Amino acid sequence: MAIRLNSHLDLDNLSCAQWAVLEDLQGNILKGHGRDHATHNFLHFATPDAGKEYLRWLRGLITSAADQVRASQRLRPSSEEGGAGGLSTISGQLFVSVALSRKGYEGLGINPDLIPQDPAFQEGMAARGPFLMDPAAASWSMVNGGREIHALVVIACDTAEITDAYSILLMSRLPDGVHKLASETGRIIRNAQNQPIEHFGYVDGTSSPVFMLQDIEGKGNSWKPSLSPLSLVLDRCPGGDANSFGSYLVFRKLEQNPRMFAEMELELGKALGMSHDEAGALVVGRKKDGTSVMVAPSTSSSSPTNDFDYSADRYGTTCPLHAHARKVNPRGGTLPDDLRKGVEWERPHWIVRRGMPYGTRRDDPAKPALPDDRPGWGKVGLLFMCYQSSIKTQFELLQGKWANDSSFPGEQSGFKGVDPLIGARATSQRREGKVLQQAPLYRSRSGQPVSFQVRPCVRLQGGEYFFVPSISLFRKL
């Protein structure tokens, strides 16, 4: 019996069909893998037989969604212990997942009818660059030796040493005819409150959709709409049975320049008559501790509230309309006269983020420092990963339209600006064939509008579109 995808999961009341889906579904999709270190290994299949041989062997090490549920249930605090019932961080074990590009399916000699059909996946990320306004693939630093990326193997554990050891072991088993093209190492960075942050120093991943009731139940500071149906992230795995599902995965290596960002914070703060931290929060839409600029500080909770919308700020006087957090999650602002309907329209376009920072640095991104003490280009960044049931209608709409469209979201009067972090600079308004470098507006402490163009502190250095198939697919190769 097939499961319904139009609802979430209740881990305390899973049906046999739901368990069957979780047993065949790879981990990290419905719930993050929870490890602090990971290697992302990109492979090329020179021959179909060699690729199939390796994937059949690797299948026994792949972490399933059921493995994650069982591990988290062993770690969940009981109600007598005062636990909220949510999933605990899953750690202490090896995590492995495998994703295939469209060229990877072809490299394995798989029947075209059994290749996932999302049109963006079929074309690949480099070919979709013009729509996304990405830099040309020739400028990317992610070197693959001129060969097509066929597979992504993620290997993760709690420490860098153990992760590296497992990665060396698993990559040493590559047969002749399977080549490792590149490897990207990610590690979680934490602030003093043990919250994960990215290299600009901001708490990351505060409002990603969740699919399990226990992940939101009892948490008074959670944004309730984030509890989402499985259809947001799961799609049928071609060639499988009624319980075989997978998910589309977008991988993008995003290089960051913390030095330039810190300089920009200082310049904007001076222009607005406020501190650099306050100015940076207007760019991001959240303060460094993850609190939205829409929310007053609270001393009653150690975690920032996520239960807010922009209904009281339709024109962006408190949180700029182009702030990163607002652009990628308008919280109903696409229909400002009816936020509930706006959320329901936006929900099918959400993505499930699972990225990790990369690179090492001498300074602590969570602590104050002069710009010159921060790393510049070529040192650090984000290994952006997101899952969805449709790349075209989720990631590509978010990146190609929401982030890059200067008139999005909300009220259509006036220029709002592209996303200051991930928006393409080429999306400035065009008139008579000319690009107008129109700067977005910020509000000074006194309420006066100030025009300020944020410098591009993030740039794409490579990536690909993948599908994460059901585990049983590898048994059938």
The per-residue pLDDT for range 52-99, each reduced to its tens digit, is: 999 999 999 999 999 999 987 765 544 333 333 333 344 458 999 999
Q: Is the pLDDT of residue 224 over 60?
A: yes
Q: Is the pLDDT of residue 316 over 50?
A: yes
Domain boundaries, the chain: 1-259+347-477
| CA distance linking residue 336 with residue 349, whole number of Å | 17
- Burial class from Cβ neighbours inside 10 Å (0-12, 13-18, 19+) for residue 447 reads exposed
| CA distance linking residue 220 with residue 223, whole number of Å | 9
Q: pLDDT by residue (tens digit) across 166-208?
A: 999 999 999 999 999 999 999 999 999 999 999 999 998 878 8
Strands (E), 188-275: 189-190, 196-197, 235-236, 245-256
Q: Is the pLDDT of residue 447 over 90?
A: no
Nearest to 98 by CA among 471, 391, 458: 471
| CA distance linking residue 144 with residue 211, whole number of Å | 35
Average pLDDT over residues 266-280: 95
Q: Is the pLDDT of residue 339 over 90?
A: no
Compute CA distances 50 → 55, 289, 475, whole Å: 9, 48, 14
Mean predicted lDDT score pLDDT of the chain: 87
Please tell me whether residue 182 adopts helix, strand or coil conformation: strand
Please tell me whether residue 443 adopts helix, strand or coil conformation: strand
Residue found by looking up tokens 């339209």 in the block = 401
- Burial class from Cβ neighbours inside 10 Å (0-12, 13-18, 19+) for residue 146 reads exposed
6 token code pair: 């139009």
